[in-house]
Amino acid sequence: MPIETLPLDAKTVEQLAGVSTATLTTVLLKKGLRNVWLRGTRPLRPGQPRVVGRAFTLRFVPAREDLATPESWSSPISTRAAIETMPAGCVAVVDAMGCTSAGIFGDILCSRMNKRGVAALVTDGVVRDVDGVLATGLPVWCQGVAAPPSVAGLTFVNWQEPIGCGGVAVFPNDVVVVDADGAVLIPAALLDQVTDASVEQERLEGWIMGQVEAGAALPGLYPPNAENRARYEAAVKAAHR
């Protein structure tokens, strides 16, 4: 039975919307997680906004001629059926096995996802009907575009189960953040502590950038030594008075 998508707290979404994926990878690295950046996930359109959402997973396997047919699009186990169960605010994360010769979704499917309030599509594969996909307004991160349909190279098998996307293990209800640098995964169990640490890291780096712009040298500043850490903490306290 597919796993139900859990709601994501609005405050968490707001906080993570202000945190770059670069910062998240650093925070996760400090917690021992190195493999969190989904390879091949590039913004389809420059300037797409940062998106935060729970992962709604979909999985393809290699095409098999008796299963990967146009008729399969009407099956109860199909991308069409999966889209109809996607909740508003989720990020659809699609395991396309890195296939770049068959577009997993086109304009009609992306339009429906956009109508359902899906926050973004993230895949290690490609899309098709690119002009139409761009016109839907759905933010997409992928490896590019290809004209052939999904069944030319892939068989869709299920949704809301653990997948591998871009070399990263993604479980339903993990949290995905995407921006110009690609997609980063936050394990669901670590969400609160990663969010808190990431917000603090962004605040610290903002202060460091201000020091750099004022002419400060990097040694002892980035990362901060005890003296600069004390200066930063004093600045934070002063700002909250």
Can you give the three-state secondary structure of 1-28, one letter per residue?
A: CCCCCCCCCHHHHHHHCCCCHHHHHHHH
Q: Structure tokens of 63?
A: 């095409």
What does the alpha-carbon distance between residue 191 and residue 149 come to, in Å, rounded to a whole number? 36
Same domain, 28 and 104: yes
Q: At what angle do helices 21-30 and 191-213 cross, to 10 degrees?
A: 120
Write down which residue in 149, 171, 190 finishes a domain. Answer: 190
Same domain, 67 and 102: yes
Residue 174 has pLDDT above 90, yes or no: yes
* Contact between 38 and 168 (Cβ < 8 Å): yes
Same domain, 109 and 209: no
Q: What is the pLDDT of residues 6-59, one digit of tens each?
A: 899 999 999 999 999 999 999 999 999 999 999 999 999 999 999 999 999 999
pLDDT band at 85 (very low <50, low <70, confident <90, very high): very high
pLDDT for the residue numbered 214: 97
Q: Does some domain include residue 112?
A: yes
Taking the CB of residue 141, how many other CB atoms lie within 10 A of it? 27
Same domain, 144 and 229: no
Find the domain containing 229 and state its range: 194-239
* CATH code where residue 101 lies: 3.50.30.40
| Cis peptide preceding 223, ω within 30 of 0 | yes
Please give the average per-residue pLDDT across 103-131, as a whole number: 98
Same domain, 202 and 183: no
Same domain, 179 and 209: no
* Contact between 141 and 126 (Cβ < 8 Å): no
Helices then strands, counting H and E runs in the chain, come out as 7, 11
What does the alpha-carbon distance between residue 176 and residue 141 come to, in Å, rounded to a whole number? 12
* Contact between 58 and 79 (Cβ < 8 Å): yes
What total of structural domains would you count in the chain?
Answer: 2
Taking the CB of residue 160, how many other CB atoms lie within 10 A of it? 21
Q: pTM of the prediction?
A: 0.94
Same domain, 132 and 147: yes
Of 127, 214, 219, 120, nearest in space to 176 by CA: 120
Least confident of 25-34, 64-73, 102-111: 64-73
